[in-house]
Homo-oligomer: A and B are copies of this chain.
């Protein structure tokens, strides 16, 4: 299995906000129309992004806006805000502790996979919302 589409949905939403900010009222309905998902999914996603300090949302009146400069919002920020389980790999639960291999898998393999994970994360951190906005309509 792989990561859910939460990262791409969240990135899409933020690209919309960055692109349309000032021109359109960015309600969850409007954003849902571009992403083509249910408005409630947009609201939940915005809720997580708000908690992470990435967007501001006006309750009641409606409308979302970026809380930081697009160059200061990275894919890692979005990823961490939005994915519940950020672990890339998933260990099988109960290797046999009686077996020398079963006893060692988790520490040995886990250490290696953690380095893969952090390589991925630093790569995500090197890409900003600004980089994405530059590509729109090009």
Contacts and interface: CB of A to CB of B under 8 A. Distances in A.
The SS class assigned to the A binding surface is helix
Interface string A70-92: 00000100000000010111111
B34 A99 contact: yes
B112 A119 contact: no
Interface of A: 1-5, 7-9, 11-12, 15-16, 19-20, 33-37, 75, 85, 87-96, 99-105, 107-109, 111-113, 115-116, 119-120, 123-124, 127, 131-132, 135-138
**Chain copies in complex:** 2
Contact of A1 (B4, B8, B91, B104): B4
B101 A37 contact: no
27 contacts: A1-B2, A1-B85, A2-B85, A3-B88, A4-B90, A5-B90, A8-B91, A8-B109, A9-B92, A12-B92, A15-B104, A16-B99, A19-B101, A34-B102, A35-B96, A35-B102, A36-B102, A37-B92, A75-B112, A88-B88, A104-B135, A109-B132, A112-B131, A116-B127, A119-B119, A120-B120, A120-B123
